[in-house]
Amino acid sequence: MAELSAIRTFFTQAEIGLNTNQIRESVLPPMVPILIKIKIMTTAMAGWTAAAAPVPMPAQAIATIVNSEVAAPVAVSLYDENDHQTGTIAIWRDGAVDDATKAVVKKLFRCRKTFRQKMMAQKTLAMLADVSDHYPGKVIEYVSAYRSGGAESSTSPHRAGTALDFRIRGVQLRDIRDYVWKTYNDVGVGWYPQEQFVHIDTRPQIHNTAWTFVNGNNRYHPYWAETAKRQATGVAVAPHEHRAGS
Ligand SMILES: [Zn+2]
């Protein structure tokens, strides 16, 4: 695992000298397992370390490696709705982060009532990275993440550190909502049109759940959930038969 963390640190440094577009272009198709990419990177790094350490690696050389052989983490731009701060964190497509980023993630997504920290679930981070990558150049404006206050239900995904409430400026909420719902399984997706955010969480033990939150209530099985899934599968669904009085 030592090699692995070295690679992540390397990418953190590499990012400073590379613009985001270069990193994004280098991302391999999502079907390629991340472990294979890491192995390729390990080989490349071993060659470089032996040849050139401790001289800093030129940005040009880093770009060559990145563009030709290896996937990079997604640079996720965040805006903290509570603190009004912006920043960018690097998250791998499988939701992994390096140790330095882990500390940042815990702080950014801390409970705003108790100030307690909890690491966000890796699957949720993977989804966050994917959503960010799906809307290039956009900023994820998050409203709420980990919540540990007394008012938070014991079964709340926010208490479990698996949930994030957010919006993206310049993107329709319903677009984000539908994208997450049709792309992922084992998730909760809530649409909050009045509060202007989308809730996403990962729930490996529970089936998919969609809801719309209006006037203080969750409304389950919303129309949009069925529509989005139908679009995703391309399956034609026969119109419901309505009998008089039904
Ligand atoms: Zn939420």
Please tell me the distance between residue 61's alpha carbon and the centre of ligand 1 in angstroms: 43
Least confident segment among 113-117, 195-199, 235-239 = 235-239
Quick one: pLDDT at residue 218?
Answer: 96
**pLDDT value for 58:** 53
Residue 209 CA to ligand 1 centre (angstroms): 13
Q: Which has the higher per-residue pLDDT, 239 or 208?
A: 208
Report pLDDT digits (tens) over 200-228.
999 988 889 999 999 999 999 999 999 99
Measured in residues, the chain has a length of 246
**Ligand 1 center to residue 82 CA distance, Å?**
15
- The Å distance, Cα 14 to ligand 1 centre, comes to 34
Torsion from C-alpha of 99, 122, 169, 84, nearest 10 degrees: -40
Confidence of residue 151 (pLDDT cuts 50, 70, 90): very high
Q: In the chain, what are the domain boundaries?
A: 2-69, 74-232
Please choose, from the candidates 36, 34, 41, the residue with its C-alpha nearest in 3D space to the C-alpha of residue 68. 41
pLDDT at 32: 38
CA–centroid distance, 192 to ligand 1, in Å, is 9
Q: Are 213 and 178 in contact (CB under 8 A)?
A: no
Q: What is the pLDDT of residues 53-83, one digit of tens each?
A: 344 555 555 555 555 445 789 999 999 999 9
What's the gap in Å between 200 CA and the centre of ligand 1?
A: 7
**What pLDDT does 63 receive?**
55
Cα(147) to ligand 1 centroid in Å equals 9
CA R_g for the chain: 20
Q: Which CATH architecture has domain 74-232?
A: 2-Layer Sandwich (3.30)
| Cα distance between residue 69 and residue 188, in whole Å | 35
Question: Please, are residues 94 and 126 in contact by the beta-carbon 8 Å criterion?
Answer: yes
Quote the pLDDT of residue 75. 95
* Partners of 191 in beta bridges: 198, 212
pLDDT at residue 62, rounded to an integer: 53
* pTM value surpassing 0.75: no
